[in-house]
Amino acid sequence: MSQPEKVHHSDLQIDEIRNDPMGRDEKHLDEEYVRFKNTGDDQLNISGWTVEDDAGEQFEFPEGTVLEPGDHVTLHTGDGVDTEWDYHWGSEKPVWANLEDTIVVRDSNGTLRIRESYNK
């Protein structure tokens, strides 16, 4: 088994990846998610930042997405009502592969902020 790749150039860090929820993937899309955390000491505005998988599927955080130090934001794969701490990709199929994938986050200028791979 190879070592997961991790590149971080930001106070935004991946706190948890739930890529393989129990049951059939299509029935549990809201339970598939990536949780991010502001690990810095300052407020972090991630409006316009994008999250992308290996297949090129992409989500963009909406205007006004601001995390205070220590705050989390969760990006769910399926549909749902967005809140201050939970956003929904709106995908009708799983985004994150069960065995291995790469999460890429770029800021609103397109600069790479996170590139983290996982495998089982």
Residue 2: predicted pLDDT: 43
Q: What is the pLDDT along the chain (120 residues), one digit of tens a residue?
A: 344 566 667 899 999 999 877 655 556 788 899 999 999 999 999 999 999 999 999 999 999 999 999 999 999 999 999 999 999 999 999 999 888 999 999 999 999 999 999 886
From the list 115, 75, 119, the residue with the least C-alpha distance to 97 is: 119
Residue 29: predicted pLDDT: 85
